[in-house]
Structure 1
């Protein structure tokens, strides 16, 4: 494991949690303290997977999950050309169902997310916290200022290879396909990260997660695991279709010449319709309730904008993978070249690659239902 110097810890926190380096004020110092303590606590809780497996009191279920994760980790490097390092070769139980809480915000009558800009990381469309109270404090401040706010429970994040990211209790029990997605998604961040472009980074990692999971299941999954994953993908695509339609209708309202009162009324009407459409949709899901919490809490511009920011460019990377002959090493090379383009050219290139999906009316796949 790489030495955990204060300098490298600060850099990492800036990139993945929105930690502002070198900025004055008590608020930033408090943010520094919770971020540093949270990251250090995660490190301290981590144990090598081999050591955890050697514990005779380990539950059968956790043993099986860690063994599966160990196989997925090896597959990531040997078959997907993802970084071969110490990440996901240790395990930590944090005693809670999330590792960080990310705060998203958007104006009351806009789908453009708020961004927090930092010296190293560039601008991010969220701000992350290890302390739930601190996240809620920022959320309340933003709400008081009139913003729509969404506080998301995040199951995992990547330190971009600066540290060895551990497997966590927050996701180790997920179905095999989703576990594979998450691990490959986070390792993809170590493979390619473009400063100041959240949409690019998350779309690349999301595509990589799905492509890698499909490759794993094709070669090593059981028929039940493959069917379970296919069902999960179908649900997520239906979910996205609903949210994309709602975003389009909201965007039209916000861009209209109506007064603010009328826009607020239309906004609530569209969000109410979205909930009703979801209830109708899930009637065909056989009792699956995985998206209930998403629709019940903080259904607003911040949440809908987050879906768009993270996933709208995924089709570009799926198309790119096909064009490169489904070869991961070649796919990475071209993706890296696109990432080096000036932002306007990068955006134009990704729009062009997304065209086959738009013309076919295909939805963008999601990674999780946080």
Structure 2
């Protein structure tokens, strides 16, 4: 399909999807779905094949190096990790902004239970994404008035779950293209994994699966690259150590929120838990990391909903890695089993993962 034909189909397809979404969800949701659709289509239109970018003599040298690396990573993802072999992440777009989308997550003031939103195509999820940060902040204000504690954060990449592959697929973006080799590999492997399996009602299942794939994939990719491997191992180890602190904080908060204490006492317990998190982090940073401050801003701004959504990315990762190993470290068998689990109810898939 030529680029002109693709642009024509974008208009027809976009109008058709808007009509379908209106019929399914009513006019109240049309504004949200409209911005989602127009935002994604603008992103797709901005993307060009990596080879076209590399043919530009004035291309930024660092971007050139990273786009060249991305081609190898993308081929590796399909040939070695058996991730989908399509056009996703074989195109690149410079969005001229620092995030692809801005997500809104929210919990009640004294709970770690994420508010969920349901969508006609992807089902229910514990976040709501916007291509306009102002719209995300407006929703956060509305949620705060309703008694929720909201959190807005920029996201460098997202997956359309493969449904836009015929339009050119999900592109590489300026928001993450300059990442170090290991982190760039993680991003590409993670987002491609979302095209393999998706449970419409289970954010933790989906994100933990993709995180497991990225971890396994990066270990394979870097095994013959000692310098990049050392750099990634340090980064990964420190991320893991932070996750230990976050998991402990979630446990403290769960104990506080489930107690019979008064709401004021729970608020005090909540404040104490976050104070302990910051103190533990500062001690770890100074005593073991030599003052590495890469997570400072994130930890200092940690909130209940931020803590809750972070757990979605990591809580089931050990279960998925065990499942991969029990499938003989065979990716097709592993993916087939994950796809089977995704079709079960949330309780059933959790029970099967825990039994393994």
For the pair 1:168 / 2:173, whether they are aligned, the reply is yes
For the pair 1:178 / 2:179, whether they are aligned, the reply is no
**For residues 162 and 4 of structure 1, what CA distance do their matches in structure 2 show?**
13
What is the deviation of 1:10? 7.8
Aligned to 1:72: 73
What is the deviation of 1:343? 2.5
For the pair 1:194 / 2:195, whether they are aligned, the reply is no
- Secondary structure of the 1:191 match is coil
For the pair 1:350 / 2:353, whether they are aligned, the reply is yes
What is the deviation of 1:264? 0.6
For the pair 1:255 / 2:262, whether they are aligned, the reply is no
CA contact (8 A) 1:106 1:302 kept: yes
TM (norm. structure 2) is 0.91
CA contact (8 A) 1:316 1:352 kept: no
CA contact (8 A) 2:47 2:93 kept: yes
**For residues 58 and 215 of structure 2, what CA distance do their matches in structure 1 show?**
34
Deviation per CA, 1:179-210, whole angstroms, max 9, x where unpaired? 11110111111111122221111111110011
**For residues 165 and 9 of structure 1, what CA distance do their matches in structure 2 show?**
20
Deviation per CA, 1:92-128, whole angstroms, max 9, x where unpaired? 0011111000100000001111001223322110000
Between 334-343 and 75-84, report the one with greater CA deviation: 334-343
- Secondary structure of the 2:204 match is helix
CA contact (8 A) 1:10 1:21 kept: no
CA contact (8 A) 1:20 1:119 kept: no
Q: Which runs of 5+ in 1 are unaligned?
A: 354-370
- Secondary structure of the 1:81 match is coil
Distance 1:20 1:322, change over 3 A: farther
**For residues 229 and 20 of structure 1, what CA distance do their matches in structure 2 show?**
45
What is the deviation of 1:156? 0.5
**For residues 209 and 16 of structure 2, what CA distance do their matches in structure 1 show?**
25
**For residues 241 and 211 of structure 1, what CA distance do their matches in structure 2 show?**
20
Number of residue pairs aligned between Structure 1 and Structure 2: 344
**For residues 246 and 196 of structure 2, what CA distance do their matches in structure 1 show?**
30
- Secondary structure of the 2:110 match is coil
What is the deviation of 1:307? 1.6
Q: Which runs of 5+ in 2 are unaligned?
A: none
**For residues 20 and 256 of structure 1, what CA distance do their matches in structure 2 show?**
43
Deviation per CA, 1:143-196, whole angstroms, max 9, x where unpaired? 122211111210101111122111100111111111111101111111111222
For the pair 1:274 / 2:277, whether they are aligned, the reply is yes
